Amino acid sequence: MARGFSSKEKQAIRLSLIQQGRELFRKFGFQKTNILDITKNVGIAQGTFYKFFNSKEELYFVILEIEEQKLREQFAVADIFTEKDPKQSIKNILQQMIEMIEENSLIRELFIGDTMTHIVKKLSPELLEKHYQNDSFAIEPLLEKLRKEGFIIEQEPQMIASILRSFFLLTLHKKEIGESVFDETMEVFIDLIIDGLIKEGE
């Protein structure tokens, strides 16, 4: 009988699966990358993969979470009070995040064919709920900063996170929206979202 992995070995293998998966997904795309490709690069048996992830879709989602954490951190650490207009600072951050999404092949891969639908179907409700909670937690520090400065924010973090998530999904439909009007359209959406959610106190 094969020996089990120690905690340290499990941690190393999981990290390696994420790293190798990220490289192969970036190079070949989600559909053309299979579990055997990943496990060969890690140096483990294909069946061992399932000790760490339930499916290729789950691994991809975990990698996406890491990519999205980079976006969330922009909200968490943003010093929006360096400029005279904090709301404009937030709008600038959202513009920067759009650019990051456009340049990120792993995120854009979601909108090739039915990739997103396929992935979501394979994920547990618990994993998806955790993802949504992470979005909410990420914006709470920024909302608290604004409230301390006298701004009025009536919506709960969960709803604001949902609105922003919907907005970023739009950025992945540039062709459908129309490339010639896309940038201007996103600017208008940003203005509507921020001005609608964040009110200046009297």
- Residue 17 sits in a domain of what CATH number? 1.10.10.60
What is the per-residue pLDDT for 52?
A: 95
**34 alpha carbon, distance to own chain's centre:** 22
Domain encompassing residue 104: 55-200
Number of H helices, E strands in the chain: 10, 2
Q: Are residues 45 and 65 in the same domain?
A: no
Both tokens assigned to 52: 């760490």
Instruction: Say yes or no: 102 and 12 in one domain.
Output: no
pLDDT digits (tens, 9 = 90+) for 145-182: 889 889 999 999 999 999 988 998 888 788 889 999 99
Question: pTM of the predicted model, to two decimals?
Answer: 0.76
152 and 74 fall within a common domain: yes
Q: Which residues contact 100 (CB under 8 A, 6 or more apart)?
A: 70, 71
pLDDT per position as a tens digit, 116-156? 788 888 888 888 888 888 888 888 888 888 898 899 999 99
Residue 2 has pLDDT above 60, yes or no: no
Q: How confident is the model at residue 112 (pLDDT cuts 50, 70, 90)?
A: low
Say yes or no: 135 and 195 in one domain.
yes
| pLDDT for the residue 1 | 36
C-alpha span between 68 and 152 (Å, rounded): 27
Q: Structure tokens of 80?
A: 């929006």
Mean per-residue pLDDT for 35-55? 94
In angstroms, the CA 42 to CA 59 distance is 14
Judge if 63 and 103 occupy the same domain: yes
- 104/189 same-domain check: yes
pLDDT at 3 (0 to 100): 59
